[in-house]
Amino acid sequence: MSVHWSPQALAQAEAAFDFIASDRPQAAGEWLHGLFERVRSLREFPTQGRHVPEAGRGDLRELIYGSYRIVYRVDPADVIVLLVHHVRMPMDAGRLEVPE
């Protein structure tokens, strides 16, 4: 199974990295490396995350990584990372819609 990132998820990961790096550059690098490692694990175990409560859809799941929710869609042959979202921010279910 392959893993793909939506442009939105990549932008959110970059914004989180920049935020962390403003105070702790080394920690930001470690955080980003860990984020990509966590997502890479979806290649072998795509259903390891829980269903996203706000979505009400069986194809959307999430992993928790530190203070972030990694929201992804499981397709027959792919995993698509949709969001990298801070846990303290409310989730807008409309942001989970990504064109096929």
pLDDT for position 89: 85
pLDDT at 24 exceeding the cut of 80: yes
pLDDT at 94 exceeding the cut of 70: no
Q: What is the mean pLDDT of residues 67-91?
A: 91
What is the pTM (predicted TM-score) of this model? 0.88
Q: How far apart are the first and last CA of the chain?
A: 17
Q: Are residues 72 and 2 in contact, defined by beta-carbon separation less than 8 angstroms?
A: no
pLDDT for position 5: 96
Output the CA angle 43-15-84, nearest 5 degrees.
Answer: 35
Domains of the chain, start order: 2-90 (3.30.2310.20)
Average pLDDT over all residues of the chain: 90
